[in-house]
Amino acid sequence: MAVFSYRGIEIESGKPVKGFRDADNPKALRALLRRDGVLLTLATEESEQKQRERREINLLAFFQRPSASDIAVMTRQLSTLVHAGVPLVDSLGALTEQVERESLVRILTQVRESVNEGTPFSKSLAQYPHAFPALYVNMVAAGEASGTLEAVLERLAEYMESQSRLKGKVFATLAYPALMLIIIVGLVGVLMVAVVPKVTSIFENIGMPLPWYTTLLIVVSDTVAGWWWAMLLSGALAGYLFKRWRATPKGRFAWDSFVLRVPIFGRLSLLIAVARFSRTLATLLASGVQLLAALEIGRNVLGNARLQAVITDAIGSIREGESIAEPLKRSRAFPPMVTHMIAVGERSGQLEQMLENVSRSYEADVDTRVMAVTSLLEPLMIVVLGGMVAFIAMAILMPLIQMNQLME
């Protein structure tokens, strides 16, 4: 049985379709597609080598997915080459010699071959969604249609670099508290399991009355030492059940709505999502992507089901003739400044510029809040760690001091 690359037309809708299908011969392929409601227009049998290469590419793209920074650097280099007048095929060939990640090299090699065979650049990229998301493909398609591919690639590079910087700042903010939390849990766990039981066994043998905090420490220590395995299993089970629940549409919506209401971090999450959405939408519109298509793509980069539902409702309202700002304002999920600036941009015909202003403003606000959260968390985590150690020390030392006084 061979593998065929085919093109066809859906019988009911008349939409063009393409893909790959196993069949014994072109006649069998035509019958299979006819049964699926597709009228075959072109069929090309793929060679065994090309099939193997495609499978290898897909596996590499899945297991060794190029990072956002890899794609950003590659896009910047491609923009420079195309802007300098180097033909696209030659530019892609030059990139395969510069890119270091093997999976990306193989993808670019296949994309170059596809473009050299006459396939549009955007459709060649669309074959590798693990590396090039819908936003990337749609912007390239708009650049090809308008003849401004080099400008679109430059916007894409700037967009991806700004998103990479934003993610880096957020990660740096969360890395220190997470590390401190691991240290606190590890240190307290070692004390409870290895140190405290040996010391408190002295008090139990003497039989003297103990302060309430020492009694509490003994109970906690015995529980942790005797049931640590049950605690780990319970934590793992709780995490698994939470992940399963959050994977459901209802669970994800409830959790994302809760996240937006969490003090300090909820506001920070909202600012990050709005900044990403505004910059994405501005970049897409400036590249020539239609408004509804841009909103569909921008909705997917929000990363919050509550905000995505607002954009979904807004798309329906826009189809019925409403402006962008009105449904966003009714939802009360987006900050008032965002809806106001979008409304001004719609009236003045400068929507892309207003969205850029929103993204810059909110990215600056994110920087300020990230610094504030970091400066707040560092002393807070130190105080928590010091408080736990002080409690354990007091619970052990006070009975020893009492014993010493009684002996005197």
- Segment 344-386, tens digit of pLDDT: 998 888 888 898 898 888 888 887 887 787 777 778 878 887 8
Residue 333's Cβ-count burial label (10 Å; 0-12, 13-18, 19+) is buried
CA 106/CA 283 separation, integer angstroms: 28
Pair 224, 388: CB distance under 8 Å = no
> Is pLDDT at 157 greater than 80 in this prediction?
yes
What share of residues in the chain are helix, strand, coil (percent, to 5)? 80, 5, 15
Listing DSSP states for 275-291 in one string gives HHHHHHHHHHHHTT--H
* Residue found by looking up tokens 């069998």 in the block: 28
CB atoms < 10 A from the CB of 285, how many?
Answer: 21
Mean pLDDT, the chain, as a whole number?
Answer: 80
Q: What is the pLDDT of residue 61?
A: 47
Tokens, residue 331: 């939802």
Does residue 63 surpass a pLDDT of 70?
A: no
Q: Please check whether residue 346 is in contact with residue 324, taking contact to mean a CB–CB distance below 8 angstroms.
A: yes
Q: Specify the higher pLDDT residue, 345 or 41.
A: 345
pTM of the model: 0.64
Are the CB atoms for 309 and 318 separated by under 8 Å? no
Angle between the N-to-C axes of helices 336-348 and 351-407, in degrees from 0 to 180, rounded to the nearest 10:
170
Q: At which residue do the structure tokens 């998301």 appear?
A: 133
Q: 50 pLDDT band (50/70/90 cuts)?
A: low
- Summarize pLDDT for 245-264 with one digit per residue, the tens: 998 989 999 999 999 998 88
pLDDT mean over 266-293? 85
- Which range among 9-23, 64-78, 102-116 shows the weakest confidence by mean pLDDT? 9-23
Alpha carbon distances (Å) from 192 to 36, 86, 259, 307: 65, 66, 33, 44
Mean pLDDT of 54-67: 56
pLDDT of 62 over the 70 cut: no
pLDDT at 179 over 90: no
CA dist., res. 190 & res. 205, Å (int) = 23
- The mean pLDDT value for 172-184 works out to 76
Strands 38-45 and 16-23: unpaired
- Enumerate long-range contacts of 348-356, CB under 8 Å, 24 or more apart: 351/282, 351/285, 351/324, 352/282, 352/285, 352/286, 353/282, 355/278, 355/279, 355/281, 355/282, 355/285, 356/278, 356/279, 356/282
Angle ∠(46,50,51) on CA atoms, nearest 5: 75
